[in-house]
Structure 1
Amino acid sequence: MNKVLIIEDNIEIANQIQNYLLSHDYLADIAHSYYEALEKINITYDVALLDINLPDKEGHHLVEQLKVKDIRVIITSVKNDEDFIIRLLDSGGDDYLIKPFSLAILRARLDAVLRTIPLTESKTLAYKDIEIDLTRSQVHYHHQSVNLTALEYEILLLFLKNPHRVYTRSHLMQMFWEDRDKYVNDNTLTSTIKRIREKLDKDVITTIRGIGYRMD
């Protein structure tokens, strides 16, 4: 049974969508804010229905974090602007729905997005000599188990899923520290990358001087 996270601050709309999906054999949870959604995505979901206008922070900041968790994203907004929609889709959104929309159309869009998920999706992610058991969140390097903290694991997983992509330091700080601890500084990222290298290999993540990091 497919699981959907409804990220919507309007309680009435969120409840209508949830009741409709539950009546059509989906599992559906609700988050009414950005920070509530952040907490909930520690649970596995197939698709997030993301209202871009949230009360505590703009919803588009969630797209990258949802994609890191392998959650498909359907963005919803009253805004019907072509450049705006293209920008959100380019940032990782899988589809876009303009409010108001019919629940039947929503269901059809959900089904279309769900069809993009492989039926036999691998539970193991491997790149070069690194292998991650996604079910157990276990990391192996050269077939040896590696003990990573939750944060180190999330960062390594991001790089493994996006090899050769450069992530700027500011982007990584925003993704992994912005909502965890307001007292961190730039050295925190450097120290975390250093610990990952020490536990795996110094060359596993490459420093792009003055910009950020990538996995080659």
Structure 2
Amino acid sequence: MTRILLIEDDDTIARGLAYSLEQEGWTVTCFGTLAEGRAALETGSFELLLADVGLPDGSGYDLCAAAKSRGIPVIFATARGDEGSVVLGLDMGADDYIVKPFRLREVASRIRAVLRRAAGDGEHIARLGDVTIDMQRAQVSRRGQPVLLTALEYRLLLTFLAHPGQTLTRGQLLEGIWDVAGNFVNDNTLSVYIKRLREKLESPDKPLIVTVRGIGYRLEADTHAAQ
């Protein structure tokens, strides 16, 4: 059974999250402080750490290195939704970053995606033609040159990568990028981010993101992972 360590100092949020995740069949151990989180990582066995950043006795960021050194995937769930905080969390090695207020269904979906990646024998690099995505470092390059993506553009790319070859509705894509923004993302905004992602990653003769008229979009290129 999958064991999740939840570090959240807001009792209402903690109870709601724990209940929701247990309904997914996972076992949840919950604490509210940095010290308790450290002790739990030292003495317990977990498949995933879900941690708030702002804790009464320190930062949830301090738990990330301890968890990653034990091979435990990390997801931050926090009210700090500015792009700098998101990028910092991902640069520290977090596998995902969710901004409050979040939807419980979305949290469960993100956890499943991270657990699937973690089960892939440590594979963390995806390739789309001449585009390389290092998901451990949250870095994207094309033909060996860095590609600068905003947090929303990067989250949109990860949403496509999680469903290669599958047509995603605009609603599904909006769900995938909602929490990173921390604000309302509408249908027109999504079109802008799709356009920007295409401009940064696609070659004129080889589209990566294909429009499926009347439905949504599909990641067209063959995707494979490598160490």
TM-score range, shorter chain: 0.5 to 0.7
Q: Which residue of 2 aligns with 1:51?
A: none
Unpaired runs of 5+ residues, structure 1, are 47-55, 73-113
Question: Which of 19, 30, 43 is equivalent to 1:23?
Answer: 43
Per the alignment, residue 152 of structure 2 pairs with: 151
Distance 1:57 1:185 in 2: 16
Q: Indicate yes or no: 2:14 matched with 1:9.
A: yes
Q: Distance in 2 between matches of 1:29 and 1:174?
A: 19
SS of corresponding position for 1:14: strand
Change beyond 3 A, Cα 1:195–1:189 = same
Q: Matched residues in 1 for 2:200 and 2:126: separation?
A: 18
Q: 2:111 aligns with which of 47, 54, 66?
A: 66
Q: What is the CA–CA distance in structure 1 between the aligned matches of 2:102 and 2:151, rounded to whole Å?
A: 24
| Aligned residue runs from structure 1 range 167-186, under 5 A | 167-177=168-178, 180-186=181-187
Aligned pair 1:197/2:201, yes or no? Answer: no
The answer to whether structure 1 residue 212 and structure 2 residue 211 are counterparts is no
- Structure 1 vs Structure 2: percent identity of aligned residues? 32
SS of residue matched to 2:189: helix
1:45 deviates by: 6.3
Q: Secondary structure at the match of 1:148?
A: coil
Partner of 1:134: 135
2:105 counterpart letter in structure 1: H
Distance between the aligned counterparts of 2:217 and 2:129, measured in 1? 17
Contact 2:147 2:200 in 1 (8 A): yes
Matching residue of 1:83:
none
SS at match of 1:164: coil
Q: What stretches of structure 2 of length at least 5 have no aligned partner?
A: 8-12, 19-28, 53-74, 80-85, 96-100, 221-227
Distance in 1 of aligned mates of 2:178 and 2:40: 36
Q: Give yes or no for contact 1:133–1:139 (8 Å, CA) kept in 2.
A: yes
Between Structure 1 and Structure 2, whose CA radius of gyration is higher? 1
After TM superposition, give the deviation of residue 149 of structure 1 in Å.
1.0
Pairs within 5 Å for 1:160-171: 160-171=161-172
**RMSD of Structure 2 on Structure 1 (CA):** 4.0
Is residue 123–residue 133 contact of structure 1 (8 Å, CA) maintained in 2? Answer: yes
Q: 1:28 to 1:135 in 2, by over 3 A?
A: closer
Deviation string, structure 1 residues 102-161 (Cα, Å, up to 9, x no partner): xxxxxxxxxxxx8x452xx13422132221122332212233321111111121122234
Comparing 128-137 with 17-26, greater Cα deviation is found at: 17-26
Check 1:29–1:200 CA distance in 2 against 1; reply closer, same or farther (3 A cut). closer
| CA distance in 2: counterparts of 1:57 and 1:133, whole angstroms | 26
TM-score (norm 1): 0.56
